[in-house]
A = this chain, B = another copy of it.
Amino acid sequence: MTTRSQRTSYRDIRDEIARRIGDQVWKPGSLIPGEEALTVEFGAARATVNRALQELARAGLIERKRKVGTRVSLNPVREARFIIPLVSQEIEASGMTYAYRLLSRAERRASRADTLRLEVEPGSVILHVKCLHLADGEPYQFEDRLINAAAAPLALDEPFQAIGPNEWLVASAPFSRGEFSFLADRPSSEEADCLKIKTDAPVFVGERRTWLLARPITFVRMVHPQSHRMTSTL
């Protein structure tokens, strides 16, 4: 039997207040009762009411100011977060078996085209790795990566035979700044080949650049077949 405690939980209060906002009992822009009043109404301690309100404020539903009070936000939530998963975890999290295959690995001097992607000086030593991530044996993601050797010298000693460059970098090279973009595209013929799709099939592409302070670390293009869906919750 589940005899729930009869003390009012901050969750109950949070949800009830959210309900009132949703039902427009408290309209956007209007002040809601102060903590003291809510304390009385819900028969809870102020700390409890406060916790409920703080969560709602963090979620962007209300805005609070000392001495002024708490008001319902006029235009709530305007940003969401998405997690940056490791492919292997993403795959295993959905109950499939992960496999990794190195396609090519080359050290070379940065070409003109490379400098557009990685922002290094032409001629800098870079590492170019291509690999494939598979879920239950099926191609899941084609990864094309440039690594700035100056920023991650240990990468030159890593064969990337058994471990993907992403996993390696996560453990060895933290970054302080990142730029992500997502787009729909058609695959190159190499990408289509590796992913076992036709060249006119749409692909979902994520591109990411990361820096540690001003120093570029890596550029990666991740190509998924059409079936891929990137989801995030708020």
Q: Given A22-B174, A28-B174, A77-B178, are A203 and B184 neighbors across the interface (CB < 8 Å)?
A: yes
The interface residues of chain B lying within 8 Å CB-to-CB of A205 are 184
Q: How far is the CB of A221 from chain B (nearest CB, A)?
A: 12
Q: Is the pair A170, B233 in contact by a Cβ cutoff of 8 Å?
A: no
CB neighbors of B among A178-234 (8 A): 178-186, 200, 202-205, 212-213, 215, 224, 226, 228-234
A171 — which chain B residues lie within 8 A by C-beta?
Answer: 28, 74-75
Chain B positions within 8 Å of A178 at CB level: 77-78, 80, 233-234
**B183 close to A230 (CB less than 8 A):** yes
State the CA gap A172–B24 with chains docked (Å): 9
State which of A82-90, A122-130, A134-142 sits at the interface with chain B: A82-90
* A158 CB within 8 Å of chain B: no
Complex CA distance for A72 and B174, rounded to whole angstroms: 10
Task: Give chain A's interface secondary structure class.
Answer: mixed
A57 at the interface (CB under 8 A from B): no
Contact assessment for B185 and A182 in the assembled complex, using a CB-CB cutoff below 8 Å: no
Chain B residues lying within 8 Å of A73, measured Cβ to Cβ, are 174
